[in-house]
C-alpha cells in the first residue's frame, strides 16, 4: 500500500507544474465549460493509463530505447515545445482558435496525451528512477498510483479553469495563453539543456 501512496504523491507533484497537456485542458475548460473540461480530463487520464502500462512493460522487461533514438526524440520534443511556446507568446489568440475547433475533448486530449513523445519519456524516466524498477509488481502498483493522481488532478484542473473562465475575460484568456507559451518554452529549454549536459 505504501508504494501505491508514493505513486499518488509523486504523480501529483509531477502533474501540478503546467505542461502542454494541462494547458490545453485549461483552455478547453475556459473556452467550452465544465462538462467538456471533465470529458477532456478523462481523456488525459486515460492516455496516462495507456502510457503507464507501456512504460511498465518497457522498464519491467529491462528493455531500453536506444540512447541515440531517445536523445533525438527528446531534442525534437524540446524544439517543438520551444517553437509552440514562441508562437503562443507572439500570437496568444491562436490557442483559443485551436481549442475552439475541438469537438470531442475526450478523444482529442486522449490522443494528445498518449501520442506525445515527451509524455512517454517522462513515464519511462520516472519508473526507471525508482529503486524497485526491477520488480514488476511493485512498479505496477507505483504506476497505478500515478494514474490515480491523474484521475484526481485533471478533473479538478479542468473544472477550476471553467469556473474561472467568466472572471478572466478576453485579456485574462490572452494572459493565460501567454503564460502557457512561456511555460512550454521554459520546459523545452530545460528538456533540451538536460540532453546536452
pLDDT digits (tens, 9 = 90+) for 21-51: 777 788 788 777 889 889 999 999 999 999 9
Residue 9: phi and psi, rounded to 5, are: -65, -50
pLDDT in tens, 113-122: 888 777 777 7
The more confident residue out of 100 and 14 is 14
Cα R_g (the chain), whole angstroms: 17
- Asked if residue 165 lies in contact with residue 30, where contact means CB atoms within 8 angstroms, the answer is yes
Q: What is the mean pLDDT of the chain?
A: 78
Task: For the chain, give every domain's residue range.
Answer: 2-196
At 136-192, the pLDDT tens digits run: 889 999 999 999 999 999 999 888 888 876 666 667 666 766 776 777 677 667 766
- CB–CB of 117/73 below 8 Å? yes
Q: Rounded to an integer, what distance in angstroms lies between the CA atom of residue 183 and that of residue 185? A: 5
Q: Output the pLDDT for position 48.
A: 93
Question: Which span out of 6-10, 43-47, 91-95, 119-123 was modeled with the highest average pLDDT?
Answer: 43-47
**pLDDT for residue 132 is more than 80:** yes
CA distance 155 to 146: 15
Amino acid at each position: 500500500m505504501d508504494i501505491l501512496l508514493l505513486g499518488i504523491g509523486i504523480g501529483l507533484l509531477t502533474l501540478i507544474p503546467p505542461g502542454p497537456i494541462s494547458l490545453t485542458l485549461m483552455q478547453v475548460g475556459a473556452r467550452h465549460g465544465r462538462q467538456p473540461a471533465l470529458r477532456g480530463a478523462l481523456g488525459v487520464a486515460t492516455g496516462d493509463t495507456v502510457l503507464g502500462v507501456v512504460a511498465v512493460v518497457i522498464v519491467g522487461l529491462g528493455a531500453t530505447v536506444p540512447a541515440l533514438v531517445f536523445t533525438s526524440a527528446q531534442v525534437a520534443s524540446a524544439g517543438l515545445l520551444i517553437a509552440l511556446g514562441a508562437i503562443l507568446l507572439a500570437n496568444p489568440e491562436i490557442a483559443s482558435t485551436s481549442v475552439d475547433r475541438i469537438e470531442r475533448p475526450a478523444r482529442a486530449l486522449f490522443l494528445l496525451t498518449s501520442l506525445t513523445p515527451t509524455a512517454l519519456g517522462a513515464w519511462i524516466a520516472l519508473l526507471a528512477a525508482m529503486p524497485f524498477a526491477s520488480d514488476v509488481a511493485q512498479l505496477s502498483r507505483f504506476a497505478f498510483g500515478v494514474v490515480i493522481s491523474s484521475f484526481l488532478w485533471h478533473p479538478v484542473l479542468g473544472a477550476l479553469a471553467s469556473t474561472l473562465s467568466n472572471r478572466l475575460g478576453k485579456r485574462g484568456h490572452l494572459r493565460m495563453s501567454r503564460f502557457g507559451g512561456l511555460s512550454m518554452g521554459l520546459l523545452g529549454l530545460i528538456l533540451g539543456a538536460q540532453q546536452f549536459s
